[in-house]
Structure 1
Amino acid sequence: RYTSKFADVFTVFLGIGGGGCVFKVENKLDKWRYAVKRIAVDPKNIDDALREVRAMAQFDHPGIIRYNCTWIERPPEGWQHDTNVEILKRMGSSSRRSVIKIFQMQFNDDCEFLYIQMQLCNYSLKEWLRENRSDSTRNLPRMKSWFKQIVEAVHYIHEKNLIHRDLKPSNILFAEIDHLKVCDLGIATERRIDEQTDTTITRTIIGSMLYLSPEQSSRYPYGSKTDVFTLGLILSELCVAITNRERSEIFDNFRHGIQCDRIQDSGTAKFIKKLTQVEPKDRPSCREMLDDLFLA
C-alpha cells in the first residue's frame, strides 16, 4: 500500500494556487502550523525544481522565510487525483476556487511531487497594499522600517552570490506586525559577476512582468542591480497609494527614466530615483542603500 508523508503527517486547512500549490497545514504530531509548497516535476527536471530548496536551505536570516525540510513523493497512477479530490472536499469554497485549476492539471504518469515545508505567514504585503489604499496609511517612518527589512534580506541573498529575480509584494510576507520576510526563492539564480559591471550572462525574462527592471524586460544581461530596481518600485508603492492602472503606468515610466511626481517627500523621491536608474551601473548596491542616510 502506498503511503504519503504529506497525507499521513499533515492536516490541510487552506490551499493557494501559484507556481504549484501552497497549503496551510497542521502537523498531526506537534500541532504546529506550517506552509507546505507542492510542485509537480518531471523526473528529468528535478534538479531545476530543487533550486528553491537549495537556496532556502543555506539561508539563516530574520528577513527570509524559514525553511524546514523537503521530500519527494512518487505516487502510483491515479493516487494523486483521488487525494486532490479529498483535499478539495475539506476546503472552504474560497480556498477551493484558488487551487482547483492547479488540481485539474494533467500530470504525466511518471510525474513526481516535490514538497517544501516552511514557516507559515498568513498575510502578504500585496494584501496590505490592497487593503490600505489611502495616502494616510503611508506613515513614512513605518514604511522606511518595512523597506529596510526587505533590503537587509535582499542584501543577505546577494551576499550569498544569488539574485532573487522575482521580488514583488506577494513574495513579501508578514511574520507578525511590522516584521517582514522575503519568500519564493524558486527562481533565485547564482550570479557570475564581472566585478566592474556587476552583470551576469543571464538574459532570460524571469520574474513578474510588472516588476521587471529595464534590463530584464529588454533581455539584456543583468545582475544583482536588477533586484535594486525592483526594490525602488516597491518603495514607491509603499509611499504612495496607487490603483492597479496607475501602478502599471508609473512602473513603466520608471523603466523609461521618468520619475513619479506624486511622491511628495523630497528625500524619498531622491532615494527612489537612485534605485530606479535605467542603467544598472548607476544604481546603488543593497549595502550602499543600507548605508544611505535615508534608511539610517
Structure 2
Amino acid sequence: MDANENLDEENIKRCNLSLPSNHQPDPDDGEGFYSIFQKHFKPIKLLGQGSFGCVFEAEISVDGEKRKEWTVDHPLEKVAVKRIPFRFSVSNISTIMNEVLSHKLLKHKGIVRCYDFWTEIPPKGWQRLADEELLNEINTNVELTYSDESSFLYIMMKRCDISLADWLIDNASRDLKIVKIIFSQLVYAVMYIHEKKLIHRDLKPSNILFSRDGSVKICDLGIASVRVINCEDRKGQEVAIERTMDQGTVLYMAPEQPGWREYSSKVDIFALGLILAEMCIVMSDDEREEVFDNYRCGMTNTILKKIPEAENFVSWLTNPIDTERPAASRLHTHEFLRFSQSRQEIKQIRERKRIKKEMDNRRSFVKAVTPWMDDPLPPPNLPVNHRLPNRTKVFFNPTTA
C-alpha cells in the first residue's frame, strides 16, 4: 500500500472490511484482528481450490442481527463461501466492492444468489496458521496457495452441488433434448446479465451450476471484472471500457479478448457457442483445445456435422467477428432452441396440472363433507344445537338472488 493512500473509515465500514484494530494491513502481530469468516461460520469441507482461490461449504454459526440479515431471504442451510486472494490497495478495494455488489444486486433464477461479501486483511502469517487449524478440523490434507502478503475477498453464496463440468464427465451419452433444455436456461441467464449492462467474461462449464431442482445457475459474476457498457461507442455496440490480460479463462475466450483494451458482451456469446459444442459432442482435452482454437481462428470444424442444427447454431455464436455474433436476446429465435414442446405448450401443460390439482382438492373436500351433509348430527367443530339445512329443502329464489 502506498504511503499516500489513506483508508477512508466510512468506506471501510460500508465495505464490511475485517481489518486489524489499528487499520494497518500488515501489523507485526494478530492482536485485535477480527475475522468474519472465522467468527461467523463453521466450515464443513473444502469444495474446491485453484488459481481463483478456494471454496468452503459452511454453516452460519453467528446469532443475533447478523444471522437474521443473512437468513431473511432464504432458509437456514449450508452455504458456499468463496475466498479469493488479492493484492491490497485502496483502488483495488473500490473496484472489488463495485464488482461484487453488482452481483449481489442481481436477482434471477438463473444466477447463483450472492448473500453477502466482505474483505479481510489479516496480519502477515496469520492466515497460514488459521488455515492449518481449519484444514485439520475438516480433515483435509491440502495446501492452499496464496502470498503471505495477500488480502482476501469472501463471497457467501447459495450452495449448489453439481456443475456443468461434472455433468459433462458423467454423461458420455448426450440427449440433445436435455442439452437444449440446459442451454436454453443458460441463454436466459446470460440475457438477463446483458440486460443489466454487465458482461460475465468468464463463462465456462465449471461456472455453470445446477440447483437441487435441476435448474441452471451461473456463478462467479462477482469475480469477473464488471464491464461498464457504453452503448454509444462503436456505432451502438456494447463495449467494455477496460480489461486486464489475466481476466477470463483462455480456453473459452473469444478471439478479441486476449490483449485488447475493449471488447463487448459478444465475448459471452462466443463462450456460449464453445460450451454448446462441448455439450453436444464428447471430446478429449486435446480435441477440445483443437476444436476451440479452430473456432477462434474462423476455421471450419466438422465436429458437429452429424447434428446440422447444432452446427449451424454454434457457427453463428462463434463467428470470429464479434459484430456478426447475435445478441443474447436473439438466440431463442434460432431453430435449435425451438423445442418439440413450445413455451405455449409448456404453459398449457402447467395449466392442466393446476386445474387437475384444483379438481383433486375439490373432490377431496366433497368426499370429506358428504358423510355429514345428510346426517342429522352436526359435523365436527359445530355446536350441538347447530343443524345444517337439508339439501332437498334449499331452493334457488330469483327474487333474492
TM-score (norm 1): 0.88
Residue 212 of structure 1 and its aligned partner are, at CA, apart by: 0.7
1:282/1:77 CA distance change after superposition, 3 Å: closer
1:78/1:199 CA distance change after superposition, 3 Å: closer
CA distance in 2, matches of 1:273, 1:78: 51
Provide the alpha-carbon RMSD of the alignment.
2.1
CA distance in 2, matches of 1:21, 1:11: 15
Residue 276 of structure 1 and its aligned partner are, at CA, apart by: 0.8
1:144 to 180, 183, 186: 180
Larger-Rg structure: 2
1:159 to 185, 195, 205: 195
Alignment of 1:52-71 (within 5 A): 52-71=99-118
Residue 46 of structure 1 and its aligned partner are, at CA, apart by: 1.0
Kindly tell me the number of residue pairs found equivalent between the two proteins.
285
Q: Which amino acid aligns with 2:153?
A: L
1:39 to 84, 89, 92: 84
Asked if structure 1 preserves the Cα contact closer than 8 Å seen for 2:119 and 2:152, the reply is yes
Partner of 1:128: 167
Alignment of 1:41-190 (within 5 A): 41=86, 42-44=88-90, 45-93=92-140, 96-97=141-142, 100-102=143-145, 105-108=146-149, 112-132=151-171, 134=172, 137-176=173-212, 178-185=214-221, 186-187=223-224, 188-190=226-228
CA distance in 2, matches of 1:155, 1:259: 28
More strand by share: 1
CA distance in 1, matches of 2:119, 2:310: 46
CA distance in 1, matches of 2:243, 2:126: 39
Residue 76 of structure 1 and its aligned partner are, at CA, apart by: 4.2
CA distance in 1, matches of 2:40, 2:267: 40
CA distance in 2, matches of 1:207, 1:80: 27
1:231 to 250, 272, 290: 272
Describe the SS at the equivalent of 1:50: helix
1:220/1:282 CA distance change after superposition, 3 Å: farther
Residue 6 of structure 1 and its aligned partner are, at CA, apart by: 1.5
CA distance in 1, matches of 2:202, 2:104: 18
1:240 to 276, 281, 304: 281
Shifted more, 25-34 versus 157-166: the winner is 25-34
Q: Highest relative contact order (Cα 8 Å, sep 6+), 1 or 2?
A: 1
Are residue 20 (structure 1) and residue 53 (structure 2) matched?
yes
CA distance in 1, matches of 2:152, 2:242: 28
Partner of 2:39: 8
Asked if structure 2 preserves the Cα contact closer than 8 Å seen for 1:35 and 1:119, the reply is yes
Aligned-residue identity in percent = 38
Describe the SS at the equivalent of 1:53: helix
TM-score (norm 2): 0.66
Q: Which amino acid aligns with 2:148?
A: F
1:266 to 279, 289, 308: 308
Describe the SS at the equivalent of 2:282: coil
Residue 285 of structure 1 and its aligned partner are, at CA, apart by: 0.5
Partner of 1:285: 327
Q: Which amino acid aligns with 1:55?
A: S
User: Which 5+ residue runs of structure 1 have no aligned equivalent?
Assistant: none
